[in-house]
Amino acid sequence: MAEIRNPNLQGQGSGGSGGGGGDMRSTMGFMLLLLVVLIGYQYFFKPAPPANPPQPQTQSQAAPQGQPGAEQPGPTQAGASPVQAAAGAQAVTAALETETTVENELYRIVFTNRGAQVKHWILKKYNDTGDQPLDMVQQQAAAQFGLPLSLFTYEPALTTQVNHALYQLTVEGAQPSATGVLLAPTSLTFHYAANGLDVVKTFRFDASYVVSVETQLLRNGAPVRALVQWPAGLGDMEEFLPSSKTRSPIFTSASSTFAWSLDGKQDYQAVAKVSHNATLDQPYSYVAITDLYFASAFLPDAPERTTVVTLHNVIDVPGDLSDPNSQKKPAQVLGVAVGDISGFTRLRLFTGPKAMDVVSSIHATGADGKPTGQSLEPLIQFGWLTVIAKPLYLALRFMNEHGIPNWGWDIIVITVIFNLLMTPTRLMMMKTSLKTMRIQPKVDAVKRKYAHLKVSDPKRSEMNAEIMAIHKAEEINMLGGCLPMFIQMPLFFAYFRVLQNTVELRGAHWYWLTDLSVPDPLHILPILIIVSMLVTQLITPSPGMDKNQRFMMAFMMPILMGSFLWHYASGLALYWGTGNLINLGIQLAINRSSVGREMHAIALKRQAKKGGGPGPGPKTIQGKR
C-alpha cells in the first residue's frame, strides 16, 4: 500500500456537534484502526483448533478400525493390478535395511527399503535456517506420525506391518553413480510379499518436481484399499527448531492448509478446521497440503475413483522457543492420504515450492486421461483479492526479471510507481479538504443554531439538511476526501497477500535484510515507519480536531503499525516505509504550496479563535518550515 491517508486532510463531517467536523475523520480513523487491529489479532492470536473439528460436507463414513476387510472393495476392471500374487506365493523380502538416493537438479530424495518410504526430501534450491538445503520431511513429526509415501489403511496392524517390512528393490533406467546416487530419469520398484500379503510400490522420476507413484496391496489375492500418504507436515515447521535457528518466532504450521480441486472448483481449508481421519470419496482433480511457500499435491490418474483421508495431528512444543521449559503450545501437523477406491493407485505427486512458474506448469488429469486439466496455480493463495494481488505479483516479478534483479529494490520501485499513480486522488482530496475548511464557519453557525436541541430531537434532521445544502452549494463531494483510502486499502491487503505468499522473497536479500520474508532483524524499518508516520501527522493541518482524536491519529496509529510490522515480514515493512517517506515528501510540498499555506492559515486562525493557542502573531503553524 502506498499510504493510509491521514484523516486530518479528509473532508469534514456534516453531522454531530463541535467544530471542525471531527465525526467524519473520527469514523474513518476508527475504521482504519479497526482494520489494523483485526490484522494484528488474526496474525498473533490465531484460533486454536477446535476439539472436534467440523467434518467436510463431502465426507463419507470411515471404516471402523480393527475390522479386517471393512474397506476392501472388490477388484474392478478399471483398476486392474499389475501384480497378481496368489496366496501362499513365495515370500519376497530383504535381509537388511538399505537406503537409496535419487536426485535431479531440483531435489534429492532418500528412500529406505523399510516400508519403501522417504526419509528425506531435500529441495536443492531452497535453504533452511541453517543455510542448508531444505528438507521437506520434518523428522520429529515424521517419527510420530509416519514418513512420506508410506501407506495408509483402515487396519492399524496392517498399516504397521506394510510400513515396517523390508522390501526388495529393483532399479530401472539410470543405474547408481560412483557415489551410489541414482540420477533421474529412473524408477524404483519396491516389492514385499509374506503371509498372504503382496505389496508393490513403484516410483518414477524425471527432471521436474513431479514423481509418478503406483501402489498395490493384495491380501490373499484380493485388493485392499491402501492409500499413499504424506502424513506429517512439510516445509518451514520452525516451531520444532531451537530458537537460535528459526527464521521467525511465529508458529509456521499455523499457516498450513488443506487444498483441493473438485468439479473444476478450487478451495482450501485452514489447518484448524481440518478433521483427522475423515474419508472423502469424491472426484478430486488434486488434493494438497501446503504452508506459505511449499506444497505437497497429489494428482490422481483417475479422479473419478479418488478416495482421500485427511490427517490432522498435534505436537506440543515450547511456546517460547528460547525457553525449552516454557508453557507448551500445540503445533499443528497436517497430512493427507490419497488412493483409488479400486485398491490400485496411480497418481503423480508434486512436492516443491509454490512458485508461479512451477505450479502453473503442472496440470491435473484431464478428461482425455492426460495431464491437460487445471493447473496447481491456485495453491498460491492470494485470497479474495487475487484480481489485484496477481497483477501486483506479476509486476514485481517483471521488474525483477527485466529491470532490477533484487526483490527489495523491486518493491521500492513498484511502491514509487503506485504513489505516482495515486497523485491525482491526493490532489482531489486536498481540494475537497480546503473547500470544507472554507465553509466550516457556515457549518458551525448552523450547528450553533440547533445546539439547544437534544440529540434525539427530530428537528436535528433539519440541521443535517442545512449542512448538506451548504456542501451542495459549494460542490463539495465528501467521497472525494475518502477516495484514496477506498483505493489504497484493497491495494494494501493485496500487497499483504503477495508478500506473504511469494516464495521468491524467502531468502531474498536487501542490504541488512537477509530475508525479506522474516522481520527486520535490526528493527530499522519499523522504527522508520513510526517516525515517518508521526512526523507526517504532526505537519498536517488539523483544524478543529479533538485533542484525544489527534493524539490517537498522531501517536497511536504510528505505534500500532510499527509494532505490527516489528514482527512481520520485512518485505512488507520495506513497502510501507517507502510509502511513508513518499507521503512525508508530498506533505512537505503541500505545505509550501498556496493550497497548503491557506490550509495552515485557516488552522491557525481557528486555533486562535478557540483560545487553544496563541494568536496569529507567533509562528506556531503546525509543521510549517
Give per-residue pLDDT as tens, 175-197.
777 777 999 999 999 999 999 99
Q: 192-201, 414-423, 522-531: which range is least confident on average?
A: 414-423
The answer, yes or no, to whether residue 319 has pLDDT greater than 90, is no
pLDDT for 494 equals 87
Q: Are residues 339 and 461 in the same domain?
A: no
Rounded CA-CA distance 457/415 in Å is: 49
Q: Look at residue 619 and tell me if it is in a domain.
A: no
Is residue 69 domain-resident?
A: no
What pLDDT sits at residue 56? 40
Q: pLDDT value at position 2? A: 41
Q: Where are the alpha helices (DSSP H) in 146-244?
A: 156-164
196 within a domain of the structure (yes/no): yes
467 and 501 share one domain: yes
Mean per-residue pLDDT over the chain, rounded = 80
Domain shared by 456 and 582, yes or no: yes
Q: What is the pLDDT of residue 194?
A: 95
Angle at 473 between CA 467 and CA 479, to 5 degrees: 70
Cα dist from 431 to 255, 418, 427, 454, 549, whole Å: 44, 21, 6, 34, 23
407 and 377 together in one domain: no
**pLDDT, position 73:** 37
Q: What's the confidence (pLDDT) of residue 544?
A: 53
The residue-averaged pLDDT of 53-70 equals: 36
The pLDDT confidence band at residue 583, using thresholds 50, 70 and 90, is confident
For the stretch 595-622, pLDDT in tens is 778 877 877 777 676 655 444 444 444 4
Residue finishing a domain among 356, 381, 406: 381
Q: Flag whether pLDDT at 4 surpasses 80.
A: no
Q: Identify the weakest region by mean pLDDT among 41-55, 300-314, 471-485, 585-599.
A: 41-55
Comparing 222 with 383, the larger pLDDT belongs to 222
Residue 450's pLDDT band, with cuts at 50, 70 and 90, is: confident
Examine the domain organization and report whether 402 and 375 are in the same domain: no
pTM higher than the cut 0.95: no
Out of 342, 363, 381, pick the residue that ends a domain: 381
pLDDT, residue 164, reads 97
- pLDDT (0 to 100) of residue 621: 40
- Regarding whether 424 and 281 lie in a shared domain, the answer is no
Which residues make Cβ contacts (< 8 Å) with residue 370, sequence separation at least 6? none
pLDDT in tens, 481-513: 566 667 777 887 888 888 888 999 998 999 999
Statement to judge: residues 579 and 467 lie in one domain: yes
Q: Give pLDDT, residue 18.
A: 37
Distance, in Å, from the CA atom of 279 to the CA atom of 281, rounded to the nearest integer, reads: 7
**pLDDT (0 to 100) of residue 373:** 94
Asked if pLDDT for residue 364 goes beyond 60, the answer is yes
Whole-angstrom distance, CA of residue 12 vs CA of residue 21 = 4
| 587 pLDDT more than 80 | yes
Question: 348 and 200, same structural domain?
Answer: yes
CATH of the domain at 191: 2.70.98.90
Q: Is residue 620 part of a domain?
A: no
Q: Which three cell numbers stand for residue 561?
A: 503499525
Q: Which residues of 409-447 are buried (b: 16+ CB within 10 A; e: fewer)?
A: bbbbbbbeebbeebeebbebbbebbbbbbebbeebbebb
Confidence of residue 7 (pLDDT cuts 50, 70, 90): very low
pLDDT over 60 (residue 625):
no
Which helix (H) or strand (E) segment holds residue 598: the answer is helix 594-610
- The confidence band for 452, taking pLDDT boundaries of 50, 70 and 90, is confident
- The yes-or-no verdict on residue 40 having pLDDT over 60 is no
| Domains: count for the chain | 2
Residue 548: per-residue pLDDT? 66
Is residue 58 situated within a structural domain?
A: no
Residue where one domain finishes, among candidates 350, 381, 412: 381
Question: Over the stretch 116-145, which tens digit does the pLDDT of each residue have?
Answer: 999 999 999 998 877 788 999 988 899 999
What mean pLDDT comes out for the span 241-260? Answer: 72
249 against 382, higher pLDDT: 382
Instruction: Write out the residue range of the structural domain in which residue 588 sits.
Output: 7-40+389-610
412 and 438 share a domain?
Answer: yes
Q: How far apart are CA 309 and CA 336, in angstroms?
A: 6
The verdict on residue 53 lying in a domain is no
Is 339 part of a structural domain of the chain?
Answer: yes
Sorted by sequence, the CB contacts under 8 Å of residue 145 that are 6+ apart come out as 231, 232, 311, 313, 333, 335
545-568 average pLDDT score: 77
Q: pLDDT at position 160, please?
A: 96
High-pLDDT (> 90) share of the chain, %: 46
pLDDT at residue number 622: 44
* Rounded Cα distance, 265 and 390, in Å: 18
**pLDDT value for 496:** 83
Q: What is the spatial distance between Cα 211 and Cα 104, in angstroms, rounded to a whole number?
A: 11
Q: Are residues 539 and 584 in the same domain?
A: yes
Report pLDDT for 215. 98
The pLDDT value given to residue 301: 97
Domain co-membership, 98 together with 196: yes
Tell me what the mean pLDDT of segment 69-87 comes to. Answer: 38
Does the residue 296 lie in any domain?
yes
**Residue 528 clears pLDDT 80, i.e. is over it:** yes
Same domain? 502 vs 469: yes
Please report which residue ranges of 318-457 form alpha helices under DSSP H.
356-359, 386-402, 407-421, 423-438, 440-449
